Amino acid sequence: MGPMERQRENQVIQSVLEGDKDAYAILVNIYKDRIFNLAYRMTGNYDDASDLAQETFIRAFENLHRFDLERPFFTWLYTIGLNIIRNHLKKDKRQRHHESGTVSDHGRYDTAGDPEGDAMTRENTQMIEQCMEGLSAEMREAVILRFFQDVSFDDMADIMGISSSAAKMRVYRGLERIAGCMKEGTEM
C-alpha cells in the first residue's frame, strides 16, 4: 500500500473516531474479502468464515480508538482477525474432528471447459486443502498469509507477533509438510 492510500485510510479512521460511523463502511469494503478468505481458508467453513469476518470488523470498530495511526491498518486488522479465528478453532476443535474432512466447494471450480483437467485441478486443490488441514494452526496461517493473501514476511511478523525470520521458517516448514503430504498422496 502506497503512502497516498495509507493517508486516505488514516483520514477515514480519523473521521470514524470523530463520530462519522458510516465512514467505517469504506474500511470494511476494502478488507472484507481478504478477511473472509483468511477465515475461510483457516476454517474450511463458509458460515463460520462469514461470522468470523463480521466479528473481526465489529471488534476492530470497538477498539479503533486504540489503533496507532503510525502503523498500517491492515496488519492491525489481521492481528485481530487471526486472534478471533484462533479462538474459534480452539473452541471448535472437538466438533471439527467429528465432521468429514472435506471442504465445500461453494462454486470455486469451473465445470465448463475441459472436464478431465477440471477433475485434476479439483483433486489437486482438495489434496492441498487436506494437507493444509494437517498443519498446525500457526503453520497454516503463515502459509495462507504468504501465498493466498500475498502478505510480506515483515507484515506477517507484525500480524503474528513473531520475528520476520520466524515467519519465514513457519512458511517453509509448512510448505515442506504440504509437499511431503502431497507426495504420499494421503492426509497427514
Domain ranges of the chain: 1-101, 113-188
Q: What is the 3-state secondary structure (H, E, C) of 95-159?
A: HHHHCCCCCCCCCCCCCCCCHHHHHHHHHHHHHHHHHHHCCCHHHHHHHHHHHHCCCCHHHHHHH
Domains 1-101 and 113-188 share a fold: no
Give the pLDDT confidence score for residue 67 in this predicted structure: 95
**Rounded Cα gap, residues 12 and 6, in angstroms:** 10
* Calculated CA dihedral for residues 144, 148, 151, 153, nearest 10 degrees: 50
- Residue 9 grid cell: 485510510
Q: Give the chain's length.
A: 188
List, in order, residues 6 or more apart from 27 with CB less than 8 Å away.
9, 12, 13, 16, 60, 73, 77
User: pLDDT of 47-66, one tens digit each?
Assistant: 999 999 999 999 999 999 99
Classify domain 113-188 by CATH number: 1.10.10.10
pLDDT tens digits, 10-41: 999 999 999 999 999 999 999 999 999 999 99
Please give the CATH architecture assigned to the domain spanning 1-101.
Answer: Orthogonal Bundle (1.10)
